[in-house]
């Protein structure tokens, strides 16, 4: 998978999360979880794009570390949505799978970039 495909995939994650958050309850539980999920999901793509523009290998690795943290945070919020019964599991699990896959891809990319 090349950087162009990953840029598209991370942007699609953010767009899909935006739609999902629109379906969350507009209450004291749904609003803050939705806000946190949007923040982390949009950060994945933004920081991946920044990593691709990195001026050095160290900068690339550093930005990828941020991408990994944010993608993993997306997984956390999606798990809370499922386990807290905020939305039906069927509406969330494909998005959770995608966030987990992106996390794994970025971890592997960071290992490669670090020469591990």
Name the one residue in this structure whose structure tokens are 């019964």: 85
Which residues lie closer than 8 Å to 18 by C-beta, 6 or more apart? Answer: 38, 41
89 near 79, Cβ under 8 Å? Answer: no
Query: Which structural domain range is residue 96 located in?
Result: 3-114
Residue 92, domain CATH: 1.20.1440.60
**Average pLDDT, whole number, for the chain?**
97
Chain segment 14-44, per-residue pLDDT in tens:
999 999 999 999 999 999 999 999 999 999 9
Residue 31 token pair: 């609003």
CA 62 to chain centre: 16
Rounded to whole angstroms, what are the CA distances from 32 to 24, 25, 39?
10, 10, 11
pLDDT tens, position by position, 80-92: 999 999 999 999 9
What does the alpha-carbon distance between residue 42 and residue 46 come to, in Å, rounded to a whole number?
A: 6
Helices (H), 23-88: 30-52, 57-83
| Cα gap 114→63, rounded to integer Å | 13
Distance separating alpha carbons of residues 86 and 88, to the nearest angstrom = 7
Number of domains in the chain: 1
Q: Which residues contact 79 (CB under 8 A, 6 or more apart)?
A: 96
Predicted TM-score (pTM) of the model is 0.94
């Amino acid at each position: 998978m090349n950087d162009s495909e990953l840029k598209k995939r991370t942007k699609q994650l953010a767009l899909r999360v935006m739609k999902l958050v629109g379906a969350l309850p507009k209450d004291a539980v749904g609003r803050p979880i939705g806000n946190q999920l949007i923040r982390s999901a949009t950060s994945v793509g933004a920081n991946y794009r920044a990593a691709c523009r990195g001026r050095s290998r160290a900068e690339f690795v550093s930005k990828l570390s941020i991408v990994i943290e944010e993608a993993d945070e997306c997984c956390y919020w999606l798990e809370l949505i499922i386990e807290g019964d905020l939305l039906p599991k069927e509406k969330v699990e494909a998005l959770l799978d995608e966030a987990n896959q992106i996390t794994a891809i970025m971890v592997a990319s960071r290992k490669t970039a670090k020469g591990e």
